[in-house]
Structure 1
Amino acid sequence: MRKTIALLTSILLFSASCGEASKEKKTREETPAVVKGNTEKDTLSPASEEKEEEPFVLTEENAIDFFFDYQKGLTENKVKITTSLGSFTVELYDNVPYHKANFIYLTRKGYFDNTMFHRVVKDFIIQGGNADNLETAKKRKEIGRYLLPPDTRKGYKHHRGTISMPSSEIDNPHMLASPYEFFIVVTKPGSYHLDGDYTPFGKVISGMDVVDLINQQPVDDGDWPMRNIYIEKAEVIK
């Protein structure tokens, strides 16, 4: 009798332990595995990953707003231009904000580097910012196509040494400015017939002798220098 009771007790204990083991195993299998690391990244499919941001390009629609924001807090107002004939420095006027911001922006983007003084009119102006090379065309495409409104009511005149912006060659009754080019007045004491039509946005403060030297170079019938005059580097300085 005692043997029978002991046997039954053993069977009951064995069954209970098997039940607990089975329950524990089932619980583990039904619990989701914990994914370590960045679960959002791990669960993204290639198709849902964010695309790379497209490069910013200036247009007629966004240029004014962009330069309005860009000029806020802009303290730099001097640009040194190094040419194949020497260097000179221009100081930009603070109260012609769009043209100042545009010139600083293009300088920082490296646009003027390796462009040329492509138009030289004796005893009148030198004009730069263009070139007949693919590099310049590529830069313009990457920066964007846009024009700037004239700002001629700040009281600045086209004195000798004034840097100003030419109007675009496209159909342009409002004399909108071509943002990639500039001209510097060489005439003594100035070329005041330009006042009111073009926007003076700065002046040469050192190196006017280099400007004069550029103006003295031989040119062809189209006012293009017979020998290329490069802007090797333009840089914002303090």
Structure 2
Amino acid sequence: MKTLALSFIFMLFICSLKAQSTFVRLVTSKGDITLMLYDQTPKHRNMFLQAIKDGTYSEAVFNRVIKSFVSQGGELDEVILDREKQHPENAPKRLAAEIKPNLFHKKGALGAGRNDNPEKNSYLSQIYLVAGKKQTDAQLDAIEAKKGMKFSEKQREIYKTIGGTPHLDQDYTVFGEVVEGMNIADEINSVATNKDDLPLSPVVFKAVVLSKKEALRLRNVERSKS
């Protein structure tokens, strides 16, 4: 009965994401990764789409890759913060956080990077893909105790079977997920890096917004999984 209940909860979670309207493909030097952007985080969805339109992700690179943690792309913290220091007359540009309890750091999640600001507001030009690892109940219990939060039964099941980086939950905005090409994302997360987590061989990518026809196909694919 418990197994059936967990399956039902997981199915409800999957179904809740089926109506998403926007898909983006990362055309990387390792292969393609397709992302579904969440409508529940419209400011981050629109921010990413605007950045793509502006060319931010036309010749971007994965510049911080930590195995079994995340693969980060776009601008580095240092580049953003140095630019802001050079122009103190301009207020730092950040996007207000859209942290939702039901959008969490499972394997394949798409998140927005940020600096250590108390509001947890996001950079406009930095994204990351969650690699993570499978968690145990003891590990999840420890995170709950440390952060004063509570994982739902659904989240626990996903973290234990799929994996992720649960200690990032409620601190960074998750605004999408990988729906195709997780093997490519895994390959990128496994590349050799230097002491600064920069890939020894550049992993370049271009972000492309998919057409309505392609988005419809992907929505149908996601719906069939349920």
Misfit runs of 4+, over 6 Å: none
Equivalent pair of 2:21/2:39 in contact (CA under 8 Å): no
Aligned to 1:235: 208
Unpaired segments ≥5 residues, structure 1: 1-74
Partners of 2:115 and 2:104 in 1: CA distance: 20
Aligned runs of 1:129-140 on 2, under 5 Å?
Answer: 129-130=74-75
8 A contact 1:78–1:90 mirrored in 2? yes
TM-score (norm 1): 0.60
- Identify the residue that residue 36 of structure 1 maps to in structure 2: none
1:1-238 matches, within 5 Å, as 76-130=21-75, 146-168=93-115, 172-188=117-133, 189-231=163-205, 233-237=206-210, 238=215
Q: Is the 8 A contact 2:35 2:178 kept in 1?
A: yes
- Gaps spanning 5+ residues in structure 2: where? 1-19, 134-162, 216-226
Higher RCO, 1 or 2 (CA under 8 Å, sep at least 6)?
A: 2
**Per-residue deviation at 1:109?**
2.1
CA–CA separation in structure 2 for the residues paired with 1:125 and 1:207: 16
Shift of 1:88: 0.5
Contact 2:112 2:123 in 1 (8 A): yes
User: d(CA) in 2 for partners of 1:197 and 1:123?
Assistant: 19
CA distance in 2, matches of 1:165, 1:92: 12
Deviation by residue 1:169-198 (Cα, 9 ceiling, x = unmatched): 6xx222211110011111131111100000
CA distance in 1, matches of 2:207, 2:112: 17
CA RMSD in angstroms, aligned pairs only? 2.3
> Amino acid of the residue matched to residue 203 of structure 2?
I
Q: Which residue number in structure 2 is paired with residue 46 of structure 1? A: none
> 1:76 offset after TM fit, Å?
4.8
What is the letter of the counterpart of residue 149 of structure 1?
A
Q: Identify if the C-alpha distance between structure 1 residues 109 and 145 changes in structure 2 by more than 3 Å, giving closer, same or farther.
A: farther
Q: Does the 8 Å CA contact 2:101/2:170 hold for their aligned counterparts?
A: no
Identity fraction in percent: 31
> What is the Cα deviation at residue 145 of structure 1?
5.8
CA distance in 2, matches of 1:190, 1:82: 23
Letter aligned with residue 225 of structure 1? P
Q: TM-score, normalised by structure 2?
A: 0.63
